[in-house]
């Protein structure tokens, strides 16, 4: 896929980090298997330009980091919740930013064009009835 | 260049009321809004798009230390498009506190009553009844009953939510698709357009220059914009109005600018059950705590739920732990503790124009949080939850203060006549003028205050 905002390396990095947050487990497809990354531009279009620039840098790094490092980073981000200082603040920002993009794509209800499995929303049983008239 | 009688910045519960009343009275009014002009046909249809399109920051904004998240709507209609439209008057405890702290004499139940009546008479209001509770609400009220705590049905601004057709109201958190929710877009902006109101969306005001004719400088997708008006009304909300005043050079004049920020911090708890709850179905928020003991102790509980993305965000876990929680999505209830927090937060703006939000908890806030979360855990357990799970993330939905009203410019920015001190034709009418946290949803009160200012301007 192509993105208007992210480079190919950034998209690879996002898929790799996405799989740490959402690995294949039970009925759930991994983040990359779901192909939900294809809707990422719908979300990124509304972010401030400088946030997109920073994300591109960070995600590009994720594309080459060992998976073990990515797992360590996620644990560190999650453990930063109650800590004081500049580094924990940055970790919390990164954590929320990544979670917003990854979970936003994964539970958007949209999956990739090549994905044949169950939609994550079907797996958790989320359906809402909109009566519009 | 057109010189408007009134230029109103912000289309939420403050600005839209004024835009309507002034247009109806025959004034030439321009309403500017940073967000998009969307309608029931064009509101997003899924949670991801709604979060990205209808909120500042693409969904969430954070305090400077990234501990607390804030949700701030960015759309014509402001927060009234995305909130739960809960409409409560303030009680004597809230208004007497305001009067004591600010010296503004119309902060009283009696003096505010005519303006509450005006606000209420303009919208359809519905108080929920027993048969409208979904299972989430049933279990919450059963838990309260088991412990002897009082609860009540919520009053909401809605006209026809098609409950009998099994409409699921959680969808309207991304904008109501049937115009049942009485957002200011539905009940004020579109009505005001019939009286000649001009609306320009996707225009973000940077700053203004005071004078007999106020000049306003903004940016839009089409480039820089300038406007002129005889009167300017700032209604961009706590962050927006404070930022505009900062960028217009008022901080040296007003030490109080940006101060006294409060946000009713909310802490969410989930009960896990063996039975299927489906908390996202039906009328998904119908009851709240009413116990006077909780009011005195500085918190309240609301029985709520969230879409899958928000739920995933609320739990700070990943991998299989995350998936196990999401597996339970239909088996959980949710309720939140909303604190009546102290107004110790501060908003400032850096040289690049970025908002810096400093929001820490005072000792009193910490005590109230511990007290409230302890009581809420008991309620969820008493309702039969086999497990109670706490979200460690917390957020503020009711952003208040920053340009507060008072009688003394040493500790306020806006006088009792809603004018910025020292300015004849620059007014503030939104949640930024709130002096301290009331502990009650502020939407109806902001509307009532805007009716009061409307009356003064029209006279």
Give pLDDT tens digits for B189-226: 999 999 999 999 999 999 999 999 999 999 999 999 99
Neighbours of B290 (CB within 10 A): 15
Going by C-alpha positions, the residue among B65, B309, B435, B223 that lies closest to residue A36 is B309
> What's the mean per-residue pLDDT of chain B?
96
Residue with tokens 């539905």: B186
Q: What token pair was written down for B78?
A: 């402001």
Q: Give the pLDDT of residue A90.
A: 94
Q: What token pair was written down for B82?
A: 């995305």
Q: Chain A partners of B166 at a C-beta cutoff of 8 Å?
A: 129, 131
Looking at residue A133, the DSSP 8-state letter turns out to be -
3-class DSSP assignment, residue A34: helix
Interface check for A46 against chain B (CB to CB < 8 A): the answer is yes
Q: What token pair was written down for A63?
A: 């594309």
> Over 90: is that where the pLDDT of B307 sits?
yes
Residue with tokens 């200082």: A85
Q: How far apart are the first and last CA of chain B?
A: 27
Phi-psi domain of B362 (left: phi exceeds 0; alpha: psi -120 through 50; beta: other): beta
Q: Return the axis-axis angle of helices A8-21 and A49-62, rounded to nearest 10°.
A: 70
**B379-395 pLDDT tens trace:** 999 999 999 999 989 99
How large is the average pLDDT for residues B308-332? Answer: 96
In chain B, positions 18-77, which contact chain A (CB-CB < 8 Å)? 40, 45-49, 51-53, 57-60, 62, 64-67, 69
Indicate the burial class of B132 (C-beta count within 10 angstroms; 0-12, 13-18, 19 or more): middle
Which residue in B308, B313, B322 is closest to A126 by CB distance?
A: B308
Residue of A nearest to B325 (CA): A124
CB contact under 8 A, B51 and A104: yes
Pairwise CA distance, residues B71 & B69, whole Å: 7
Which residue in A42, A89, A126 is closest to B52 by CB distance?
A: A42
3-class DSSP assignment, residue A81: coil
Q: Chain B partners of A99 at a C-beta cutoff of 8 Å?
A: 312-313
Confidence category of residue B268, pLDDT binned at 50, 70, 90: very high
Mutant choice from A92, A111, A119, A133 vs B, greatest count of B C-beta within 10 A:
A92
Confidence category of residue A1, pLDDT binned at 50, 70, 90: confident
Confidence category of residue B59, pLDDT binned at 50, 70, 90: confident
Interface check for A96 against chain B (CB to CB < 8 A): the answer is yes
How large is the average pLDDT for residues A118-124? Answer: 97
Going by C-alpha positions, the residue among B315, B318, B319, B329 that lies closest to residue B272 is B329
Q: Give the pLDDT of residue A133.
A: 78
Residue B328's contacts (CB-CB under 8 Å, 6 or more residues apart) are B272
CB B232 within 8 A of CB B215: no
Residue with tokens 């936003």: A104
Pairwise CA distance, residues A16 & A76, whole Å: 17
Instruction: Compute the residue count for chain B.
Output: 459
How large is the average pLDDT for residues B169-189? Answer: 96
CB contact under 8 A, A46 and B327: no
> Over 90: is that where the pLDDT of B284 sits?
no
Pairwise CA distance, residues B269 & B136, whole Å: 12
Pairwise CA distance, residues B205 & B354, whole Å: 14
> Over 90: is that where the pLDDT of B448 sits?
yes
Indicate the burial class of B164 (C-beta count within 10 angstroms; 0-12, 13-18, 19 or more): exposed
> Over 90: is that where the pLDDT of B273 sits?
yes
Going by C-alpha positions, the residue among B192, B234, B228, B230 that lies closest to residue B5 is B230
In chain A, positions 107-126, which contact chain B (CB-CB < 8 Å)? 107-110, 120-121, 123-126
**B4-54 pLDDT tens trace:** 999 999 999 999 999 999 999 999 999 999 999 999 999 999 999 999 999
Q: What token pair was written down for A61?
A: 């790094």
> Over 90: is that where the pLDDT of A33 sits?
yes
């Amino acid at each position: 896929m192509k993105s208007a905002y992210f480079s190919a390396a950034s998209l690879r990095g996002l898929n790799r980090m996405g799989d740490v947050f959402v690995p294949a487990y039970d009925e759930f497809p991994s983040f990359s298997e779901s192909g939900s990354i294809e809707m990422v531009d719908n979300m990124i279009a509304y972010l401030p330009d400088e946030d997109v620039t920073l994300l591109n840098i960070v995600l590009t790094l994720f594309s080459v980091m060992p998976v073990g490092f990515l797992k360590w980073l996620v644990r560190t981000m999650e453990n930063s919740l109650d800590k004081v200082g500049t580094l924990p603040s940055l970790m919390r920002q990164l954590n929320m930013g990544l979670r917003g993009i990854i979970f936003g794509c994964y539970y958007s209800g949209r999956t990739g064009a090549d994905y044949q499995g169950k939609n994550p929303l079907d797996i958790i049983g989320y359906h809402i009835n909109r009566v519009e008239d | 260049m057109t010189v408007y009688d009134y230029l109103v910045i912000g289309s939420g519960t403050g600005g839209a009321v004024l835009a309507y009343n002034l247009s109806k009275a025959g004034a030439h009014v321009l309403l500017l809004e940073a967000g998009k002009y969307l309608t029931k046909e064009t509101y997003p249809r899924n949670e991801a798009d709604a979060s990205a399109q209808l909120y500042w920051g693409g969904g969430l904004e954070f305090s400077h230390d990234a501990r607390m998240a804030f949700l701030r709507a960015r759309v014509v209609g402001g927060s009234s498009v995305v909130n739960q439209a809960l409409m409560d008057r303030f009680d004597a405890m809230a208004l007497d506190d305001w009067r004591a702290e600010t010296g503004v004499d119309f902060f009283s139940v009696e003096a505010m009553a005519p303006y509450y009546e005006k606000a209420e008479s303009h919208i359809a209001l519905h108080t929920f009844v027993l048969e409208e509770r979904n299972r989430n609400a049933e279990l919450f009220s059963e838990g309260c009953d088991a412990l002897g705590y009082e609860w009540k049905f919520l009053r909401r601004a809605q006209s026809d939510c098609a409950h009998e057709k099994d409409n699921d109201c959680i969808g309207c958190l991304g904008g109501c698709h049937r115009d049942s929710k009485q957002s200011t877009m539905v009940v004020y902006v579109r009505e005001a357009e019939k009286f000649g109101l001009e609306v320009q969306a996707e225009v973000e005001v940077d700053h203004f220059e005071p004078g007999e004719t106020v000049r306003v400088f903004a940016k839009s997708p089409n480039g820089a914009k300038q406007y002129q008006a005889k009167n300017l009304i700032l209604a961009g909300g706590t962050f927006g109005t404070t930022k505009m005043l900062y960028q217009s050079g008022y901080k040296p004049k007003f030490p109080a600018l940006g101060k006294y920020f409060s946000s009713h911090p909310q802490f969410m708890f989930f009960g896990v059950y063996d039975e299927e709850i489906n908390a996202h179905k039906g009328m998904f928020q119908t009851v709240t705590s009413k116990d006077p003991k909780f009011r005195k102790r500085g918190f309240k509980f609301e029985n709520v739920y969230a879409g899958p993305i928000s739920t995933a965000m609320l739990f700070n876990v990943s991998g299989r732990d995350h998936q196990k929680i999401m597996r339970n999505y239909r088996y959980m209830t949710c309720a939140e503790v909303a604190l009546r927090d102290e107004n110790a937060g501060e908003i400032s703006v850096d040289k690049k124009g970025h908002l810096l939000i400093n929001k820490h908890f005072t000792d009193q806030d910490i005590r109230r949080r511990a007290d409230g979360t302890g009581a809420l855990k008991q309620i969820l357990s008493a309702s039969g939850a086999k497990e109670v799970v706490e979200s460690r993330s917390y957020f503020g939905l009711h952003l208040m203060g920053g340009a507060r009203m008072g009688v003394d410019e040493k500790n306020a920015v806006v006088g009792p006549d809603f004018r910025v001190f020292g300015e004849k034709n620059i007014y503030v009418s939104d949640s930024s003028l709130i002096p301290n946290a009331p502990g009650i949803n502020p939407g109806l009160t902001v509307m009532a205050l805007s009716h009061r200012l409307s009356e003064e301007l029209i006279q």
